[in-house]
């Protein structure tokens, strides 16, 4: 009989309530945690409250400060191993996860489709159970989000979404950490998304309102975000008193925005649509003309890799562009995710303002 330890842990959490006393073994001091993430999956930010996401960002800032600024060695993941399933190639996701997990004393194991072909050579159910017996967590970068749902259902260890066709939650954590570092707070910012209604946008829509951020979205007709995600995002906006606007005019979406954001117009697996997409996205390139209608303190984000048709060099390499700090923060945020899901560590750094 296979026990699902995630369910057992969640049940125990419910019995003890939300305020849990845990012992921080790194320092030997009992600390109070109002957020309990240990043992959970991270498939989409839809499943996390604003306070839970803020906690992961707080932990990201803490690890970055203690390791990068103070030069401390924190083997918080010593003795733990991570399975990394990559159906899609990657620079930032692979490097940030491998180096970050190892920096914390853990052992990451990289698996491509040449090593493990999900649902082909072995069923997803069997794969999940085998990985559960050999690793402490799995990060999977897949084509179909439904594959992650099956892995999470069948595994007894945390499953982390490294990217799927529907969501890219770990990218958005890096984006938010970058903006918090730059602006000092996220509440009240207006984000402008100009581009495809894709997995990055979906993850922003599932989280921005929880921080009190407004979102203005411009996509070409026929490339809007998923209707079910839009409906839920509208609910979040209402609950949190924020504004969500969807349109087809890039300049209108950029008006008054603090942050201009775009992404690739042609995702992996959409190569056959390249000619059609390039035509549909004419006029969506972010330039200084776009920036002129934004807020005076505008900044620019792009998850990379970037193509010139998406944003010109003047914006991309300008002092307003935060793309390289954003890329670096992929490492600190994925480290925080792993520490949150696998340990009882609590941040020492004072909680940042969100």
pLDDT tens-place string over residues 104-146 = 999 999 998 888 877 788 899 999 999 999 999 999 999 999 9
Query: 321 in a domain, yes or no?
Result: yes
Mean pLDDT across the stretch 224-229?
98
- The tens digit of pLDDT for each residue in 3-50 reads 444 444 444 333 333 333 333 434 433 344 579 999 999 999 999 999
Q: Mean pLDDT for the chain?
A: 91
138 plus 194 within the same structural domain = no
pLDDT of residue 22: 38
141 plus 212 within the same structural domain = no
225 plus 130 within the same structural domain = no
Query: 10 in a domain, yes or no?
Result: no
310 plus 193 within the same structural domain = yes
133 plus 98 within the same structural domain = yes
115 plus 229 within the same structural domain = no
Distance CA 138, CA 134 (A): 10
The domain in which residue 336 lies consists of 45-168+329-342
- The tens digit of pLDDT for each residue in 201-214 reads 999 999 999 999 99
Say if residues 345 and 30 touch (Cβ distance below 8 Å).
Answer: no
Asked, as a colleague might, if the bond just before 305 is cis with ω within 30 of 0, I would say yes
Percentage of the chain modeled with pLDDT above 90: 83
**Structural domain count of the chain:** 2
The CATH number of the domain where 195 resides is what? 3.40.50.1370
For residue 268, what pLDDT band results from cuts at 50, 70 and 90?
A: low
Q: How many CB atoms lie within 10 A of CB 290?
A: 26
Distance CA 141, CA 161 (A): 6
pLDDT of residue 3: 42
Distance CA 193, CA 205 (A): 10
Active site positions, annotated: 303
99 plus 175 within the same structural domain = no
Query: 320 in a domain, yes or no?
Result: yes
- The tens digit of pLDDT for each residue in 103-113 reads 999 999 999 88
Q: Which residues pair with 23 in a beta bridge?
A: 30
pLDDT of residue 270: 67
For residue 216, what pLDDT band results from cuts at 50, 70 and 90?
A: very high
SS3 content of the chain, % helix, strand, coil (to 5): 45, 15, 40
Q: Is 78 left (phi over 0), alpha (psi -120 to 50) or beta?
A: beta
pLDDT of residue 30: 38
- The tens digit of pLDDT for each residue in 243-266 reads 999 999 999 999 999 999 999 998
Query: 24 in a domain, yes or no?
Result: no
pTM (predicted TM-score): 0.90
161 plus 255 within the same structural domain = no
pLDDT of residue 114: 85
CB neighbour burial string for 133-154, b if at least 16 within 10 angstroms, e if fewer: eebbbbbbbbeebebbbbbbeb
89 plus 127 within the same structural domain = yes
- The tens digit of pLDDT for each residue in 161-195 reads 999 999 999 999 999 999 999 999 999 999 999 99
299 plus 208 within the same structural domain = yes
Distance CA 331, CA 260 (A): 22
pLDDT of residue 194: 98
């Amino acid at each position: 009989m296979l026990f699902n330890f995630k369910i057992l842990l969640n049940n125990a959490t419910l019995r003890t309530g939300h305020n849990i006393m845990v012992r921080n073994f790194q320092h030997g001091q009992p600390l109070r945690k109002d957020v309990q993430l240990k043992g959970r999956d991270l498939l989409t930010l839809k499943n996390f409250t604003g306070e839970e996401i803020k906690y992961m960002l707080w932990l990201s800032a803490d690890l970055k400060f203690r390791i990068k600024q103070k030069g401390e060695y924190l083997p918080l993941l010593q003795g733990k191993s991570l399975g990394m399933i990559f159906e899609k190639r990657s620079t930032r996701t692979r490097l940030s996860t491998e180096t970050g997990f190892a920096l914390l004393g853990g052992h990451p194991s990289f698996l491509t489709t040449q090593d493990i072909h999900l649902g082909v050579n072995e069923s997803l159910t069997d794969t999940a159970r085998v990985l559960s017996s050999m690793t402490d967590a799995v990060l999977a970068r897949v084509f179909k989000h439904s594959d992650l749902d099956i892995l999470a259902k069948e595994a007894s260890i945390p499953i982390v979404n490294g990217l799927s066709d529907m969501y890219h939650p770990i990218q958005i954590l890096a984006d938010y950490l970058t903006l918090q570092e730059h602006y000092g707070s996220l509440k009240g910012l207006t984000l402008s998304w100009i581009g495809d209604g894709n997995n990055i946008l979906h993850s922003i829509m599932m989280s921005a309102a929880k921080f009190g951020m407004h979102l203005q979205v411009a996509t070409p007709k026929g490339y809007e975000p998923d209707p079910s995600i839009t409906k839920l995002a509208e609910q979040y906006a209402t609950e949190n008193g924020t504004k969500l606007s969807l349109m087809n005019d890039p300049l209108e979406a950029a008006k008054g925005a603090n942050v201009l954001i775009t992404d690739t117009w042609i995702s992996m697996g959409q190569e056959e649509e390249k000619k059609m997409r390039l035509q549909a996205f004419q006029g969506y390139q972010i330039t200084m003309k776009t920036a002129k209608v934004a807020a005076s303190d505008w900044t620019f984000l792009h998850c990379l890799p970037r193509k010139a048709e998406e944003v010109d060099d003047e914006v991309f390499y300008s002092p307003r562009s935060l793309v390289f700090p954003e890329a670096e923060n992929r490492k600190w945020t994925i480290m925080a995710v792993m520490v949150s899901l696998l340990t009882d560590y609590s941040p020492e750094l004072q909680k940042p303002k969100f």
